Structure 1
Amino acid sequence: MKNQWVALILIVITLKAFGQDKIVGGPCEGCEAIHESPVPFSKLDSFLKMPAASREGKKPLDINGIVYKADGKTPAPGVILYIYHTDETGHYPKKGNETGWGKRHGYLRGWMRTNEKGEYKFVTWRPAPYPDHSEPAHVHVTVKEPGLNEYYIDEYLFDDDPLLTSEKRQKLENRGGSGILKLKDVGTMFKAERLIYLGKNIPNYPANH
């Protein structure tokens, strides 16, 4: 009996020492791709320049924002964001040497880590909708914050996209807050801002996180 108690105590100590991420957000196919970052999370930058796509004569997108904690006002540093999107043909482009989830997400993907002010920024090109026009053009985004498992939030969408109909807008879950971008033409590029609120409309999110 004494040995059993000793074993139980050791298990508890081990779990506390290594920690376990709390499971939130529900099912999320492909969210584990966030762990395929070629750079350790601790060394990721808050600025990401996405791999170049063939966009002759087109203006890039400059998207920035702040990630806030669940209280909606405290900046959240050290949060990992993983994004990926289609190219100008509506496909996830491949080079042929992709591994893991890169085989599905393609090479137009990247990782960021919010700075001490909760800020992030990425520069990319506007994606096209799928060839069948079944969905509006979008940028997928997965979040990984300290102490919790990775989960998805609403995609980055474009307010001027004719495929983003009233019906589709009404069906958005607003996970992490609205992802609809209003682009501003500043001459050399299009700029937009998105604020992200951790835990907003995320199932099983702990109240005290």
Structure 2
Amino acid sequence: MKTKSFVLLAAITITLPALSQTARVGGPCEGCEAIYESPVPAEKLDMFAKLPDAAWEGKKPIGINGIVYKADGKTPASGVILYIYHTDQTGKYTAKADAKGWEKRHGSLRGWMRTNEKGEYKFVTLRPVAYPGHSDPAHIHIIVKEPGLNEYYIDEYLFADDPLLTVAQKQHLENRGGSGILTLKDVGNMYKAERHIYLGRNIPNYPTNQ
């Protein structure tokens, strides 16, 4: 009996460090695991993503860029994976006929990026349309996966000129990762905007030693 107890204790001792390597932060996050569905291995992801709807014929695309900073708010964070997805021009998350996994729910307008050594990221897409018959403003979802932590969501990208983005809605934003409200600038062949992301900002259970 003593031998069995010792073996069980040893097993627990060995297992615990492994379980503690990744701290759970950010609270519940339905669909966050979609960040692992990238067709490109995480270590080979580029800092730039061109979503399937991005084109220069017809509607002007939008180009969003920024820097991801560590929790101190000033040190660029490299190797951070970002996953984005949004509605199409009908306001729906339309998926391809052969879609698998979370693409069935998130639609096929999605992309992955990995910040470079300067913490930079950039993506190009068409501006999404709001849900039909709803009062929610148009938005782009974003999920973050930084080294040593689990994936979590931050505030969606929103558009400052969206009439559906009311003062009341702005007041209820959590500012997870910093403000996600974009001010688009017409640069001729497209619209551009900037959003910097601050890891850990307003994220529940975020470790203080990051």
Per-residue Cα deviation, 1:19-64 (whole angstroms, up to 9, x for no partner): 6311010111111111111111111111101012688521111100
> What is the RMSD computed on CA atoms of the aligned residues?
1.8
Contact 1:53–1:87 (Cα < 8 Å) also in 2: no
Matches within 5 A, 1:192-203: 192-203=193-204
SS state at 1:104 partner: helix
Report the TM-score, using the length of structure 1 for normalisation. 0.93
Contact 1:133–1:163 (Cα < 8 Å) also in 2: no
Structure 2: distance between partners of 1:55 and 1:103: 27
Unaligned 5+ residue runs, structure 1?
A: none
Number of residue pairs matched? Answer: 209
SS state at 2:100 partner: coil
Whether 1:167 and 2:184 are equivalent positions in the alignment is: no
Percent identical among aligned pairs is 72
Aligned amino acid, residue 168 of structure 1: Q
Aligned amino acid, residue 201 of structure 1: N
Give the direction of change, closer, same or farther, for the CA distance of 1:140–1:115 in structure 2 (3 Å limit).
same
Whether 1:70 and 2:53 are equivalent positions in the alignment is: no
Moved more, 157-166 or 6-15: 6-15
Aligned amino acid, residue 122 of structure 2: K
Contact 1:55–1:125 (Cα < 8 Å) also in 2: no
Structure 2: distance between partners of 1:100 and 1:15: 31
SS state at 1:99 partner: coil
Q: 1:156 — aligned with what?
A: 157
Structure 1: distance between partners of 2:156 and 2:76: 21
Matches within 5 A, 1:128-167: 128-167=129-168
Aligned amino acid, residue 39 of structure 2: P
SS state at 1:169 partner: helix
Matches within 5 A, 1:19-30: 20-30=21-31
Following TM superposition, by how much is the alpha carbon of 1:85 offset from its aligned partner in structure 2, in angstroms?
A: 0.3
Structure 1: distance between partners of 2:184 and 2:5: 62
Aligned amino acid, residue 101 of structure 2: G
Aligned amino acid, residue 47 of structure 2: S
Q: 1:110 — aligned with what?
A: 111
Moved more, 78-87 or 45-54: 45-54
Unaligned 5+ residue runs, structure 2?
A: none
SS state at 2:116 partner: coil
SS state at 1:73 partner: coil
Contact 1:136–1:157 (Cα < 8 Å) also in 2: yes
Aligned amino acid, residue 156 of structure 1: Y
